[in-house]
Amino acid sequence: MKENGYYFTKNFIDTSRGFCEEILTEQNNVSKQDQMMMLNKSTGYFKEKEKFNVKDLKKKFLLNQL
């Protein structure tokens, strides 16, 4: 696959989904509702942004979850 904007965006979306499904679990004291909320937020972020900044993405979602 050619490494272009689509490739990198899809990779980030897949990574976000994997994080939500594999790390944000009830075994890690995260409710299913919180898991779905985080997944919806991250998916919504990519739908709203034509371009995204990795630092902005981390700041908005990952760092706010700690």
How high is the pLDDT of residue 44?
84
Res 62: pLDDT? 63
Contact present, 41 and 24 (Cβ < 8 Å) = no
Segments making up each domain of the chain, as ranges: 5-65
What local confidence, expressed as pLDDT, does residue 43 receive?
82
User: Could you tell me which residues come within 8 angstroms of residue 20 by beta carbon, excluding any fewer than 6 positions away?
Assistant: 35, 36, 38, 39, 42
- pTM of the full structure: 0.69
pLDDT by 10s per residue, the chain, length 66: 688 888 888 888 898 889 889 998 999 999 999 999 888 888 888 888 787 777 887 777 666 654
CA distance 1 to 60: 29
Q: What dihedral angle (degrees, nearest 10) is formed by the CA atoms of 1, 21, 37, 16? A: -30
